[in-house]
Structure 1
Amino acid sequence: MTNAWLVLAVGDDRTHGSNDGYDDEPSRHYSWDDTVPNHAALAVGDVIALWDKKSLLGVSVIEVIETGQAVKNTYTCPECGKASFKPRKVKKPTYLCWDCAAQFDEVVTHRKTVKTYRSRHDAAWVDMSGLLPGSVLRSLCDAPKSQLSLRPLRWEKLSAAIAATGAPTTITIAETTQQRIAGGHRQATVRVRVGQAAFRKRLLDEQGQTCAFTGPAPGAALEAAHLYSYADSGEHHARGGLLLRRDLHRLFDLGLIAVDPRTGLLDVSGELAAYPEYARLQGKPLGVRLTPDHRRWLAQHWNMHRTPQADIPAQQGQEQLLTT
């Protein structure tokens, strides 16, 4: 059974009277610390469904959990010492404590050293803004009446609820990522990369504002895609990258789009057949000229993500791949 979590990414419980909140960016990363219940239960490979208490924001899979330490400010009521208060919008004094009914303008500040956590989950992110209401999401949790920010969730029920909406989504991206991480293929999605900005600039200088799969595109829409496992090598190879639109970068990392080393043409997984924008890329040539290094890395990517009978040596792929 896939471990899954309903995670409160934005909303009143993330920034309120008792603390300074967190710097979440739902489509990329999520932060919490050891003051949060279930803080140590989340793990690489777990599915997370992010919401804002009103509706679903999106679904992804945890690629990496970064840990550290920080000094955190927390605030309590000066009368009862509890944190059950929020600032009032109109009335004065500024705060009202729900526990003891005290009213006050100044809170008591405490400084505490905490262990911090940050998930990275951008590679498999699927935007589903508003697809399911909060009431449905709560009902899918192990404890539907829970008020926690990190709640165990039934992934099978969530995926069924998403499918029942009839909305076209790429939910299989999350499922594929989870399976590959569980199978030891974390290199397909891990992207914690020092020097990424310089790597991207070099690719822009060399290739121009061109998505290798679809052609000219605004620079802001292009990401530097490694054709090899950065996680394994720990360095940026000068001829080991192509510029791709963010959505295509994600699909390439997951192996849902690859380059056939025998023909030099794009190969689109059958999982994307229902999406015309991606399906029409099947059999198309790349929009940039490939170097021998590009060809070698693309052959290795093909070997990782396609069927065993298509497996060919990287050198053979270098020789066979057509130059566009």
Structure 2
Amino acid sequence: MSTESGAVPQQLLDMAKEAAAPQLTETALNRQFGPRSSWAPAVGQLWRAVRDDVSALVVVVAVDTESVTVAPATVESPESGTDSDAVAVNDTVLGVPVTVWAGLLRSLPVSVLDRPIDDLDADVVSRIAEGATTARSSSTALLADDVRAELADDLALLAEPAADAVPADAAEASADAPAGIDLDAVDPAELDEAAARLDVSLPVVLDLIDGKRPPTPAEADVLREVLGAAPEAAPPPLGLVVELAQPRWRSLVRQHRRRRGLTEAAARTALAYDIGTMAARQTGEREPSWPDRIRLWAQGEQLNPDADA
């Protein structure tokens, strides 16, 4: 299943067509959940979760500021009588029975949520909680079959922190901390060499030098070797970091990723530094409305948070 786009997986769209489920189309889902920049995960929702080439269907059973607790879901049916924690759900927009594996509850970063698919009723959430309790008290090995093992592996990959994400301890600070490199003293040939060795475009190198985002350890090593120093950058405001992790901004992150040739996590980091710098210039120490600032920045960059990406 391709995970390059933020759209509903083609496999699910094909399933909707075969099952006569027009409610699964992009238009219908947008009508149900609103524009992308308004999406907010809620208990009982069925979501598509994505990181790199890993994709999974998950049911949200708890929501925190920066994370969600989920149970994975599949369209495969468990063998009768063998899975006390497998919750069957028949009435979904997928048009086919869905199995929710309550015994595999896992906390995931909210940033991996990609697309809401359906709202399940409260009875389903209650049965998932009951199934999770049963699984914890059971002595049966939960990963005894291929389906469970694959789901557990996918959830583990989705839960991994991204190496180039915004630091978890990002704190309120000025976004105009001095960089460790004087750009006026840098030979343009050295900038080209740094870009070539990092395999990025020149604007990305300039962003690093300007302190718009901190370099990764590998980037810092290259910059020290080529330019003689590694830049420094003050962390962006924590409120902005938390807001940009929400799935409602994932389309904007993807658009910025493609524009700058970054990974998704690095693009989110770059956005945090760019928007944080803009907000510091405009509001000083006052805490701004971060959703409004994100939309304002996107408008200035001619990017659309509500577009498919």
- TM-score under structure 1 length normalisation: 0.23
Richer in strand (by share)? 1
Richer in helix (by share)? 2
- TM-score under structure 2 length normalisation: 0.24
Larger Rg: 1
